[in-house]
Structure 1
Amino acid sequence: MPYITTSDGTEIYYTEQGSGQPIIFSHGWPLNSDAWALELKLFADAGYRAIAHDRRGHGRSSKTYQGNDLDHYAKDLSDLIEALDLHDVIVVGHSTGGGEVIRYVAQHGAGRVAKAVTVGAIPPLMLKTEANPGGAPIEVFDALRAGVLGDRSQFFKDLAVPFFGGNREGSKASQGLYDEFWREGMEMNVAAAYDCIEAFSNTDQTADLKAIEVPVLLLHGDDDQIVPIDAASRTAVTLLKNGTLKVYPGAPHGIFGENQKQIDQDILDFIAD
């Protein structure tokens, strides 16, 4: 299996298919690069060099105790891109992966990134504060931490349902989707799972968004129960110099089914312009 070793000695697993302009996919919590398996083939078939990696602490990458934060995630992505000597890169991030991508582009991506895409992404800030009254209260994230430290297996099974909108009337989320979410979640070590909650909830990326010069496409479902759209993408797009927001009515946080087909086509259209 292919790995690169980051500047602090962490081993990052990655997989790639195809050739052409590089496009890198960054996954959400608690998943890994397998979440992008369909996109790897689809974008390779469309003429791109499609790459996805497991964030540190997730999947097949090093089971890290330290460095489970957005600064390290973005630096790891930078190390991967430099190790593969990629240029004119398109970066795509879902959920926490969207935060990773935004920090990477703002702090490391100059001269390498052509465009960026986020899907149901966390920026600018998920936590409710005096300056961010539309965010989620700390109790929401404390409950996630308790789940990771408690019956973690059942916690991930339960979390999969709202993640994919399975608690909504007419949902087409399958047991297979839930099982795959559970499998990927259980491959993450507990320290990384726990620390990443702090990373995605309490990292203010306002400055990152304001610093980005390249075009950014923000895609978000308006029934996202994990990263509610108002405090996330609807706010983020107002901070970007060159941002475009597309909202999917009734779509959940998880990417699957007809919504996934539309998201993939929207990304293809955006990067082809």
Structure 2
Amino acid sequence: MEENTNQLMPISVRAEYIEVEHNVHLHITDVGEGRPIVLIHGWPLSDEMFEYQYNALIKNNFRAIGITLRGFGKSDKPYGNYDYDVHALDIKKVLNTLDVKDSVLVGFSMGGSIAIRYVSKYHGDHVSKLVLCGAAAPIWTQRNDFKYNLPMKAVDDLIELNYADRPQLLSNFAKIFSATETSLNAGIGSWLNGINLSASSYATAQCLIALRDTDLRPDLGHVTIPTLIMHGKKDKICSFDLAEQMHAGIKNSRIITFEKSGHSMFLEELPKFNAELIKFAEQ
């Protein structure tokens, strides 16, 4: 009997949800084969934001692992603590479960802050390179000795608006997400807004508190693995000053500037973003 050569090749079935504590499951996208690239989204998105990175990474023989943080997207949304230590521990448990080794950890915005805490706290377990994209670090809000980015009162107002009118908060956020209000087309804006609305109101507020209050300056010196800082020159959410401060604090780091981009360089300059990420991962 002639063998049927048109049958689909068997593929490995990977878990879509991983339990990180009792009754708390995180949504995971785990696709492709090769060196793992672990992607951590920003506030208040989910791992779905990396749709156009997943496709490129798979084509270039990488394993892409997107983790949706608790409280966001398709992950469970418990009440409780949402500080960076909690998120870093969740990531550690996911990487343990998946037995990930020698990965490139990529963090966008708040995800970049959490990635810094992860590498600092766990001494780079499972991770050999770090990519910080528009990261909300080392501090997202101003201090007496840190005059960059947002005043704390501005974040207090965001938290208040979250509980009064979250759709309006997200609409305001969308207007400053890119270099100009027309840098991203209406379809992309609608897609991102749908992802943002899938977060819980509680997690949205609690992570704003973490963004407002956390000072990662002591963590930067503990980041010793090769680090790529990618930042939009026209970023209105995490000003370019933050990229320079991260570079000054992380010895083994370099900056790639996205001259035409605001916060969303992963969409505004998509080909360049993917090319730089892949080049760094291959080195």
Which category of TM-score, normalised to the shorter sequence, fits these structures?
Answer: over 0.9
Partner Cα distance (2:110, 2:196) in 1: 14
Normalized against structure 1, the TM-score is what?
0.94
Q: Corresponding residue for 1:225?
A: 236
CA distance in 1, matches of 2:268, 2:85: 34
> In the alignment, which residue of structure 1 is the partner of 2:151?
137
Answering whether residue 85 of structure 2 is matched by residue 74 of structure 1, we say no
Give the secondary-structure state (helix, strand or coil) at the position aligned to 1:150.
Answer: helix
Q: Equivalents in 2 of 1:160, 1:146: separation in Å?
A: 18
Distance 1:98 1:204 in 2: 13
- CA shift in 2, pair 1:85/1:257, >3 Å: closer
Partner SS for 2:43: coil
> Structure 1 residues 222 and 8 mapped into 2: Cα distance closer, same or farther (>3 Å)?
farther
**1:25, CA displacement in angstroms?**
0.6
| Contact 1:2 1:14 (8 Å CA) reproduced | yes
Q: Aligned residues, how many?
A: 269
**Identical columns (%):** 27
2:116 is aligned with 1:102: yes
One-letter amino acid matched to 2:193: W
Name the structure 2 match of 1:210.
221
For normalisation by structure 2, the TM-score amounts to: 0.91
Q: What's 2:12 paired with?
A: none
Question: CA 1:49–1:123 in structure 2 vs 1: closer, same or farther (change >3 Å)?
Answer: same
8 Å Cα contact 1:128-1:138 kept in structure 2: yes
Alignment partner of 1:114 is 2:128: yes
Query: For 1:81, what is the secondary structure of its paired residue?
Result: helix
Q: Which amino acid aligns with 1:136?
A: L
The match for 1:263 is: 273
Q: Could you tell me how far 1:82 is from its partner in structure 2?
A: 0.5
Counterparts of 2:280 and 2:37, CA distance in 1: 12
Are residue 155 (structure 1) and residue 199 (structure 2) matched?
Answer: no
Deviation (angstroms), 1:89: 0.9
User: Counterpart of 2:76 in structure 1: which amino acid?
Assistant: S
Segment of structure 1 superposing worse, 262-271 or 107-116: 107-116
Report if aligned partners of 1:161, 1:178 keep a CA contact under 8 Å in 2: no
Q: CA deviation at 1:238?
A: 0.5
Kindly report the root-mean-square deviation, in angstroms, between the aligned alpha carbons of the 2 structures. Answer: 1.5
Q: Alpha-carbon deviation of 1:135?
A: 3.6
5+ residue gaps, structure 2, are 1-14
Alignment of 1:82-97 (within 5 A): 82-97=96-111
Structure 2 CA distance for aligned equivalents of residues 269 and 200 of structure 1: 30
- Range with greater deviation from structure 2 (99-108 or 250-259): 250-259
Is the contact between residue 177 and residue 262 of structure 2 (CA under 8 Å) also seen in structure 1? yes
Residue pair 2:112, 2:134 contacting (<8 A) in 1 also: yes
Alpha-carbon offset, residue 212 of structure 1? 1.1
The 1-side partners of 2:277 and 2:125 are apart by: 21
> Runs of 4 or more off by more than 3 Å in structure 1?
255-258
In structure 2, how many angstroms separate the alpha carbons of the residues matched to 1:215 and 1:70? 21
- 2:5 alignment counterpart: none
Is the 1:157–1:178 contact (alpha carbons within 8 Å) kept by the matching residues of 2?
A: no
